[in-house]
């Protein structure tokens, strides 16, 4: 506890008193204390030359922490070997008028939506250090230079650490110029990650590792039926068990046991007699949802996402039509680290330690559950053992932890969900179906396309206030006509993409890749179907349709060339293509597979290309592409959450398997930044893994797989 609190205390103290400098870019309206000569809190330089860079976004394995630190250090021109990072807290962000900006880390926004202001933090720090040195030497600022943590002039040099205290007293310059990417020397290079060593030596503290003096442990069970409630429980049956401290009702649907160890809490909870009120959803099944979605494929009413020309009229007069129906199931995030948090509550203050993708949302959840104002609460972010969207918008585990801690005032309580609880009470990838109809002219050219998506809306389930005129714009990721983010790319003269919203009782959530996942499958597999119907090569048809979309076309051509499309290959090996644009980046993949006579699939190789505009750390981008394929192929091969009698049937990894090393193909990544924009990295490429494999399977077998996961279709 002391380490965490001393860091928090350190953040609140004046850096000048310690002989250091805390700098950043100017935030209008930011209250400045007379005893704290800081511009804001992006960079701190200590007398020992250590450079502390504060990163507001969360690190969950994607490398955002290192990437953002690279951007700051690039502008600062400090010694990378002396860089350290820290998380500011959401409470401090609130108190300082959100000086660190958004803390939300999802949608591949970590770098692409904060690159400018973090770079300004580094640039401002450098400008102040140069001014301090120029003042000391009594020379013009323009005569000074910086490199690796030193300011130099005519053979003289001063270290950043020696200048920090004086620099902190100076007024910020009015204009800060950022380096063009062509002049980068640190950003744009494959620097080693800053969090690798603590992960390897075991010193990295995750939420489940946290230990505080006097801490108790809690296990929880929520009603197994979505929307159900807790009817009764017999606390007396377990209160005498070793280590058990308290049985706590949590909200109207859950019960928790608090004990000296988590295992004692969990085993006591398993022995607790509980009666559930399952409510109206106890008879719901996946088959019911599938039937509802199927009916909506032909519903009269649907929200329009994209429309060009008159698709329905063009289809009615087409020389030939091609039609297919695809489906995509519910899926769990299945993070390696289950949901957990530690909370300490008193009538005056509530503190929470938790892995979160959004510290500010976690703070709001803590305040709501604690009954205290946000100013009386604080959240200390920890590294995440996986996020994938589950630890983003909805913080149900934080609310539960605080509610339990309120029953034991002044005592830190750590809540850890069991794997079964984590499987049964996630926020699941939305379930959808899609009916696609294409119109071809007599020459086999694509003249019309209608995509009718039927199914669940994440926004309706999490932010219903953002649904306008029955439309969830997030449903249409990757399918926007024109130049919007997620642009379709394909030139189709008559286009209609619409959505018939149907929301089952299973709660939806943002899941890595979000709706781009299924939309890429629907679109890219159907484009292959159109090519086959028109007797066209799938690559050539795509090239024709993408002739006016050069960035789409560039990544497609790159993977096709490297994979050897159209060239002889080993017997039994077949290729499949996919491309899409999402989260601000252009991505493509070419998969090489074989399928045995027994139906056994082997994915030998995937070539991937990504154009994110700017590549801050190419090595991290390659790692993210590989990691996204692990996640995407796990979903495509095995990922399926099914509901029976209102309950999730999958309880653990024995019934919800993930990709094993033997399943993983070789991945060859092409990072090809074209400049001029900032795209995401962590999520876009996940979307092209499945359709590339599905198209390769068709090439190998002649069989179209339109319903995932593949485990239900192949041996």
Per-residue pLDDT tens for 561-602? 999 999 999 999 999 999 999 999 999 999 999 999 999 999
Phi, psi of 671 (to 5 degrees): -100, 115
Q: What ranges do the domains of the chain cover?
A: 2-197, 208-279+339-416, 297-331+428-712
Residue 645: is its pLDDT beyond 90?
A: yes
CATH number of 208-279+339-416: 3.30.365.10
| DSSP code per residue over 479-510 | -BSSSSTTB-----SEEEEEEEE---SSPB--
* CA–CA separation, 127 and 135 (whole Å): 12
* CA–CA separation, 578 and 569 (whole Å): 19
**Average pLDDT score over residue span 52-64:** 91
Phi, psi of 691 (to 5 degrees): -65, -35
Query: pLDDT category, 483, cuts 50, 70, 90?
Result: low
CATH number of 297-331+428-712: 3.30.365.10
**Average pLDDT score over residue span 125-132:** 94
State CA 525 to chain mean position distance. 25
Question: Which pLDDT does position 41 carry in this prediction?
Answer: 65
Per-residue pLDDT tens for 72-119? 999 999 999 999 999 999 999 999 889 888 999 999 988 999 899 999
Domains 2-197 and 208-279+339-416 share a fold: yes
Residue 36: is its pLDDT beyond 60?
A: no
Question: Which pLDDT does position 715 carry in this prediction?
Answer: 60
**Residue 410 CB-half CA count within 13 A:** 0
CATH number of 2-197: 3.30.365.10
- Percent of residues, the chain, with pLDDT higher than 90: 87
Q: Which of 77, 83, 82, 80 is nearest to 147 (CA)?
A: 77
* CA–CA separation, 669 and 350 (whole Å): 46
Per-residue pLDDT tens for 223-262? 999 999 999 999 999 999 999 999 999 999 999 999 999 9
Task: Please write down the HEC assignment for all residues of 146-211.
Answer: EECCEEEECCEEEEHHHHHHHHCCCCCCCCCCCCCHHHCCCCCCCCCCCCHHHHHHCCCCEHHHCC
* CA–CA separation, 272 and 105 (whole Å): 38
* CA–CA separation, 674 and 153 (whole Å): 36
């Amino acid at each position: 506890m002391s380490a965490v609190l001393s860091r928090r205390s350190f953040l609140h103290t004046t850096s000048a008193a310690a002989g250091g400098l805390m700098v950043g870019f100017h935030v209008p309206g930011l209250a400045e204390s007379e005893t704290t000569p800081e511009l804001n809190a992006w960079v701190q330089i200590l007398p020992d030359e250590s450079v502390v860079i504060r990163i507001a976004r969360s690190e969950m394995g994607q490398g955002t922490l290192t990437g953002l630190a690279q951007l700051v250090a690039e502008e600062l021109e400090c010694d990378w070997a002396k860089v350290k990072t820290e998380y500011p807290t959401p409470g401090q962000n609130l108190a300082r008028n959100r000086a660190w900006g958004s803390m939300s880390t999802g949608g591949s926004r970590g770098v692409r939506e904060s690159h400018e202001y973090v770079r300004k933090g580094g640039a401002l720090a450098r400008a102040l250090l140069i001014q301090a040195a120029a003042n000391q030497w009594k020379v013009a600022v323009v005569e000074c230079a910086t490199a690796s943590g030193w300011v130099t002039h005519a053979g003289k040099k001063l270290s950043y650490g020696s200048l920090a205290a004086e620099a902190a007293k100076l007024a910020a310059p009015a204009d800060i110029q950022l380096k063009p990417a062509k002049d980068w020397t640190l950003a744009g290079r494959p620097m080693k990650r800053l969090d690798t060593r603590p992960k390897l030596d075991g010193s990295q503290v995750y939420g489940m590792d946290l230990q505080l003096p006097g801490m108790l442990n809690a296990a929880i069970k929520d009603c197994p039926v979505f929307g159900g409630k807790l009817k009764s429980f017999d606390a007396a049956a377990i209160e005498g068990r070793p280590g058990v401290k308290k049985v706590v009702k949590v909200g109207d649907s859950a019960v928790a046991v608090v004990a000296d160890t988590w295992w004692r809490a969990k085993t006591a909870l398993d022995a607790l007699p509980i009666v559930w009120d399952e409510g109206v959803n106890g008879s719901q099944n996946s088959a019911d949802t599938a039937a509802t979605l199927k009916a909506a494929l032909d519903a009269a009413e649907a929200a329009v996402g994209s429309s060009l020309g008159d698709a329905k009229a063009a289809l009615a007069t087409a020389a030939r039509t091609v039609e297919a129906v695809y489906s995509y199931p519910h899926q769990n995030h299945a993070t390696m680290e289950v949901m957990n948090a530690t909370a300490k509550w008193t009538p005056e203050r509530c503190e929470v330690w938790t892995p979160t993708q959004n510290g500010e949302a976690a703070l709001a959840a803590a305040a709501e559950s604690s009954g205290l104002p946000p100013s009386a609460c604080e959240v200390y972010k920890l590294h995440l053992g996986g996020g994938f969207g589950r630890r983003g918008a909805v913080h149900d585990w934080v609310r539960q932890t605080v509610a339990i801690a309120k029953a034991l005032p002044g005592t830190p309580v750590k809540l850890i969900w069991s794997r079964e609880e984590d499987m049964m009470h996630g926020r699941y990838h939305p379930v959808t179906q899609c009916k696609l109809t294409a119109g071809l002219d007599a020459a086999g050219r694509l003249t019309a396309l209608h995509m009718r998506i039927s199914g669940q809306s994440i926004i309706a389930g999490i932010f219903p206030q953002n649904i306008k005129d029955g439309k969830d714009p997030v449903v249409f990721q990757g399918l926007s006509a024109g130049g919007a983010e997620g642009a379709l790319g394909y030139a189709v003269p008559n286009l209609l993409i619409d959505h018939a919203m149907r929301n089952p009782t299973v709660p939806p959530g943002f899941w890595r890749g979000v709706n781009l996942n299924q939309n890429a499958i629907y679109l890219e597999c159907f484009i292959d179907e159109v090519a086959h119907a028109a007797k066209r090569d799938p690559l050539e048809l795509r090239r024709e349709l993408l002739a006016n979309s050069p960035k789409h076309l560039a990544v497609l051509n790159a993977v096709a060339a490297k994979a050897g499309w159209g060239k002889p290959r080993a017997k039994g090996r077949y290729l499949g293509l996919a491309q899409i644009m999402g989260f601000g980046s252009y991505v493509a993949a070419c998969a090489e597979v074989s399928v045995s006579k027994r139906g056994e699939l082997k994915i030998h190789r995937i070539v991937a290309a990504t154009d994110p505009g700017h590549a801050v750390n190419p090595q991290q981008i390659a790692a993210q592409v590989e990691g996204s394929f692990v996640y995407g192929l796990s979903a495509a091969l095995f990922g399926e959450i099914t509901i029976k009698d209102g309950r999730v049937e999958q309880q653990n990894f024995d019934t919800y398997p993930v990709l094993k090393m033997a399943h993983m193909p070789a991945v060859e990544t092409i990072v090809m930044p074209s400049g001029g924009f900032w795209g995401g990295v962590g999520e876009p490429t996940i979307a092209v893994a499945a359709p590339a494999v599905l198209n390769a399977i068709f090439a190998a077998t002649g069989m179209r797989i339109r319903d995932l996961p593949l485990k239900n279709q192949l041996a």
